[in-house]
Structure 1
């Protein structure tokens, strides 16, 4: 029986254990450049089998929150290279999450103050994070988006390809995770509640999944499937997203991914940061059926699960063979040495919710390790 602390090969990556640091937006990268605090923060957590970075914008258009990092400028890539060097020096493995927020943005964050883009021109009942002139942060309503024109979509796909290539070749990452979850651009194309298109990217399941597969093919063509993972959240209502019948939609997604040789599939179970048993549609969502659809389609990548896992639940998931890896989010915020704490059953620090977004070292790099 496998345990959380056993090593595992995931695509091209040899991991020391099966504990993953989940992607966590922290809004501490002014001008979209990771700085000294980010170097410390990630290197402190390098004992994770794998670190998935906070979501990182593939382009200026893809940015939706203030002070989140990017991958589209030289200074941003240089900042990330300092992070990856520090993580590698500490013995860790780190992949970057490739992000285009789509409609979850604000005009003030967009190139030239333009409208955010999405599958359709439907405004999200959601908020984003901005920095006020005095330096303090505030959450504000997202701006009205415009629908991407069909002719613009190849350019978006190329942004993913270029960001992935730069992440490996310039920033020194071990791989990438494509962000296909939580109501951001790819998810906006997937879901019937946000995609009302009538072209080749809307309507049928085959059409709504087209962007996801084209992005995956572009990224794997640039860096290899063994360095590529993807994050999905089949039923989350995050960022005002919904689908009338998510089971066949996401079964089709993972079946299509099964033939593409990805390193891992990262699944958010239930409502992101909320109830694990949350579902949409007229019946509960079956994650076992989802995984079965992936395996039946030839998918060999690691099955990575996330949302509300504690040690007991994680041990059961890995021990029973349901999951290969388990990602922890808030627990890693407050416990840089989470792996050793879990292994030795040491009491965990409690995260300070007030310091999650924006700020400085407080609630970021100052959590103590166990004695």
Structure 2
């Protein structure tokens, strides 16, 4: 059996190990959506993981949901991301940009055009969101026209091309966590009567069209998608057909020859086993809250080819080194997750830092 430190080929790239830095929103981009100067340092510090998946990055103005999240659809965005990808590559790492359209999980105060959010249907998620003036209820979104849905597919395609121009090794479509792609999948958020609503096949159509368009644009071996089957958050409910929905969706995605499928799993184990049977390429599994002593368990059993980690990678720039020597991990500081400066972003200490401090004493 492979272990976590065994190299693996993912799409067309060779990874030095089977551990992945999961995508995590940090809300530290500049006002125009370009990554801040600290972002290059932040990601480069963590380049020893096999693959970095960046924070969710919007493909358009409409795609933004939260304050100061990055984009990848203007020349300035491309130049900003190039500093990040260069820094990661110079440190021997690999990086995929995650493309995330927030859909109804948006507030006009957080977007560059200050317009009402867009979604499959005019159904509010029923939760508040942080804005520059504090917590506010998320307004009811505007239902997208059929032409707007197709334009959004084109926006994803264009953003993927710009990400590769910026030096990314590939892109991951964010189809999880209650954002636009999953909103199309869930009957609680999608009551459309056109070809994007109703049946399982129709509700899956948007996800499949986005993945197919990106694969055509940059190559299937540079294209990936993240899903979170069965997750219930922010008003998302995939209903009693959830298992059948993902059997269809994963089966159709499998035909596209994508680089990998990334599953955020916190649901029924049998569904995950079923996905493994239907997916014939690299599978990344993320189990939120997985304890340290279970790292590598899914790889050891063959359920996963790689495993992704969020908080431990966030708080430990030398995550891989600490695992190799059995060193304790820094605890993540929740108060600094979103927004701010270098605190809780690029200032987490490494083992070398700790040794230097000890010698100084």
Normalization by structure 1: what TM-score?
0.91
Asked if 2 retains the 8 angstrom alpha-carbon contact of 1:110 and 1:116, the reply is no
| Whole-angstrom CA distance in 2 between matches of 1:61 and 1:214 | 18
| Whole-angstrom CA distance in 1 between matches of 2:324 and 2:289 | 18
Residues 76-225 of structure 1 mapped to structure 2, 5 A cutoff? 76-110=77-111, 112-132=113-133, 138-169=134-165, 171-225=166-220
Residue 260 of structure 2 corresponds to residue 257 of structure 1: no
| Whole-angstrom CA distance in 2 between matches of 1:112 and 1:334 | 34
Asked if 1 retains the 8 angstrom alpha-carbon contact of 2:67 and 2:111, the reply is no
Q: Match for 1:236 among 212, 226, 231?
A: 231
| Whole-angstrom CA distance in 1 between matches of 2:114 and 2:90 | 40
| Whole-angstrom CA distance in 1 between matches of 2:7 and 2:246 | 29
| Whole-angstrom CA distance in 2 between matches of 1:240 and 1:81 | 36
Q: Match for 1:317 among 291, 298, 316?
A: 298
Asked if 1 retains the 8 angstrom alpha-carbon contact of 2:110 and 2:132, the reply is no
Give the SS at the match of 1:113: coil
Residues 296-315 of structure 1 mapped to structure 2, 5 A cutoff? 299=280, 301-306=281-286, 307-315=288-296
Which deviations, in whole Å up to 9, do the C-alpha atoms of 1:5-51 show, x marking residues without a partner? 11000111110000000000010012211121101100000001000
Query: What is the root-mean-square deviation of aligned Cα atoms in Å?
Result: 1.3
Corresponding residue for residue 9 of structure 1: 9
Asked if 1 retains the 8 angstrom alpha-carbon contact of 2:61 and 2:113, the reply is no
| Whole-angstrom CA distance in 2 between matches of 1:234 and 1:86 | 34
| Whole-angstrom CA distance in 2 between matches of 1:145 and 1:85 | 38
Corresponding residue for residue 291 of structure 1: 276
| Whole-angstrom CA distance in 2 between matches of 1:40 and 1:54 | 14
The alpha-carbon deviation at position 363 of structure 1 amounts to 0.7
Which deviations, in whole Å up to 9, do the C-alpha atoms of 1:207-262 show, x marking residues without a partner? 00000111011100000000111000001123221111211111111100111101
| Whole-angstrom CA distance in 2 between matches of 1:139 and 1:234 | 28
Give the SS at the match of 1:323: coil
Which deviations, in whole Å up to 9, do the C-alpha atoms of 1:267-298 show, x marking residues without a partner? 0101xxxxxxx46xxxx75210122122xxxx
Asked if 1 retains the 8 angstrom alpha-carbon contact of 2:21 and 2:53, the reply is yes
Normalization by structure 2: what TM-score?
0.94
Asked if 2 retains the 8 angstrom alpha-carbon contact of 1:118 and 1:188, the reply is yes
| Whole-angstrom CA distance in 1 between matches of 2:237 and 2:171 | 26
Asked if 2 retains the 8 angstrom alpha-carbon contact of 1:50 and 1:93, the reply is yes
Residues 270-281 of structure 1 mapped to structure 2, 5 A cutoff? 270=266, 278=267
Corresponding residue for residue 359 of structure 2: none
The alpha-carbon deviation at position 111 of structure 1 amounts to 5.4
Residue 311 of structure 2 corresponds to residue 330 of structure 1: yes
| Whole-angstrom CA distance in 1 between matches of 2:123 and 2:99 | 23
Corresponding residue for residue 27 of structure 2: 27
| Whole-angstrom CA distance in 2 between matches of 1:291 and 1:139 | 40
| Whole-angstrom CA distance in 2 between matches of 1:312 and 1:322 | 17
Which deviations, in whole Å up to 9, do the C-alpha atoms of 1:164-192 show, x marking residues without a partner? 001002x1100000010011111000111
